[in-house]
Amino acid sequence: MQLLSYPGRIHQPSQIKIESIRETRMMDQLKKKYDENGVIHVPEFLSAKDVSEIREELERYIHEDLRGKPADAATREADGEQVRNLWRLEEHNPCFRKFAERADLLQLVRTLLNGEPVLAAIETFNKPAKVGSGVPPHQDNAYFCRTPADKLTIWIAIDPVTNENGPVTYIKGSHLNGVLPTKPSGVKGNSIGLAEEVATAPEAEFCGILAPGDATIHHCNTIHWSAPNTTDSPRLGFLMVYRGAHTEVDQALRETYVAASTINSPS
C-alpha cells in the first residue's frame, strides 16, 4: 500500500498477493465459489508489509485525525473509549481510498460483482481485547438496500483471528434467499439484525479463522455474525465494500433501515 499523502512513510510499492489471483486463473474458481457459497476465503490476500502499513495508518488516523472528524466517523465500545468501528474512511482518508481503488483489486471485484465496481465504503471492525462487542446475525443488504444485490465486502485480517477472539461466521448459500425479515438489534454500530434465528447445519457454516493478510469476501445477502472478544488479543478487521454501478436503491429495504436507525445510532 502506498501512503502517498504522508511523505516519509512512503515505501516501495509492495507485492500484493492479489496479483497472483489474476495470473493463475484463480479468478474463475473464486467466482464459482462466490456464486455458490456467497463467501470465499482468500489466504494471503495482502503481504505482511501491506498489513503493517494499514495497521500503522489506522493507528495514526485514530490518534491524530479522528478527533477532528464528525461523530459518525466512529462507534466506540461500551467503555466509551475503545474504537469499535471506523466508518467512512473512503471520505476521511485519501490513502485508504487510493488503496481500495487499485486496478488489481477492482479487477477481482468486477468479476465477482458482474459489473463495474464502485467503492462504497471503507471501515473497520476493531473488536478490541476484553471489551470488543459482538455483531448480531445480519445481512448487509438490510443496511445497503441495493437492487440487484450486487454488493460485497472484502474483510481483511490485520490481527490474527482465532476461534476465541470473535471470528466472523458466515452461512454458506444464505445469499440465495434474498433479504430476510429484520428487526432493530439494539446493538450500537449494528442496528439491524435478523428477526428470526436461522437454523443451519454445522457444515453450512464457514468460520473466518484468519492469519494477518488473509481475507474473506462475502455477498451482501450472506448471513453472518461474530461473538464478543473476551480474550487479551485484539481482532482488527479492515473492510472494503463495493457495489456494482448498475445497482439502485431498493426503497422498501431503505424504509426499514431508516426506521431501525432512528431507534439506534446509524450503521
Ligand X SMILES: O=C(O)CCC(=O)C(=O)O
Closest distance to ligand X from the beta carbon of 120 (Å): 12
Would you count residue 237 as binding ligand X (CB under 6 A)? yes
Name the one residue in this structure whose C-alpha cell is 459518525: 72
Closest by CA position to 82, among listed 66, 98, 106: 66
Closest distance of CB 47 from ligand X, Å: 22
Q: How far is the CB of 157 from ligand X (least distance, A)?
A: 10
C-beta closer to ligand X: residue 61 or 170: 170
State in angstroms the smallest separation of the CB of 193 from ligand X. 11
| 125 part of the interface to ligand X, by CB under 6 A | yes
**Binders of ligand X: how many residues, by CB under 6 A?**
11
Residue placing its CB nearer to ligand X in the complex, 53 or 140? 140
Site map (CB under 6 A) of ligand X, residues 128-157, x = contact: -------x----x------------x-x--
With respect to ligand X, which residue has the nearer C-beta, 34 or 125? 125
- Residue 106: in which H helix or E strand, if any? helix 103-113
Q: By C-beta, is 153 or 174 nearer to ligand X? A: 153
Kindly state whether residue 87 participates in binding ligand X, applying the rule CB under 6 A. Answer: no
By CB under 6 A, residue 168 contacts ligand X = yes
Shortest Cβ 199–ligand X spacing (Å) = 20
Question: What sign does the dihedral 58-260-227-218 (CA atoms) show?
Answer: negative
**Interface with ligand X, residue 226, by CB under 6 A:** yes
Output the smallest distance, CB 153 to ligand X, in A: 5
39 contact partners, CB below 8 Å, separation of at least 6: 170, 172, 206, 216, 217, 218, 219, 222, 224
Q: How far is the CB of 247 from ligand X (least distance, A)?
A: 17
Q: By CB under 6 A, is residue 37 in contact with ligand X? A: no
Name the grid cell of 116: 463495474
Minimum CB separation from ligand X for residue 218, in Å? Answer: 7
- Rounded CA gap, 125 and 11, in Å? 26
Beta partners for 203?
none
When the beta carbons of 27 and 227 are compared against ligand X, the nearer one is 227
249 CB burial (10 A radius; 0-12, 13-18, 19+): exposed
For ligand X, the closer CB: 3 or 168 = 168
CA distance 175 to 155: 17
DSSP 14: P
Q: Which residue has the cell 436507525?
A: 261
Spatial contact of 104 and 63, defined as CB atoms under 8 Å apart: no
Quick check: helix, strand or coil at residue 187?
Answer: strand
What is the DSSP code (8-state) at residue 13?
P
The number of beta carbons lying within 10 Å of the beta carbon of residue 228 is: 15
239 binds ligand X (CB under 6 A): yes
Compare residues 146 and 224 and give the one whose CB is closer to ligand X: 224
Enumerate binding residues for ligand X (CB under 6 A).
125, 127, 135, 140, 153, 155, 168, 224, 226, 237, 239
